[in-house]
Structure 1
């Protein structure tokens, strides 16, 4: 059982269809646009601090 009842095979088939429809160049552009949108949203919410995995010393 994968995400929401989707098995790994079904996810791979969906991924292949998406790549065939949009192409890898367009998917890169969409990913970059999505990243910029998320950064802009965080900045507007005042939460534009970089996320790190290091624990803070208190």
Structure 2
């Protein structure tokens, strides 16, 4: 009987900061990771317009 665990493939919906943190941890644990994003850009609201004020200042 083999003692190795099967490789897991994890699908993450969305590409915000929490999704990337989850993907990194899963990959470090040996999982294969796919990130699925419906928007035209990756990064989520926080990175692109929400929490990072520099993005708003650049557009002003």
Q: What's the TM-score once normalised by structure 1's chain length?
A: 0.29
Larger radius of gyration: 1
* Higher fraction of helix: 1
Q: What's the TM-score once normalised by structure 2's chain length?
A: 0.28
* Larger RCO of the pair (alpha carbons < 8 Å, separation 6+): 2
* Higher fraction of strand: 2
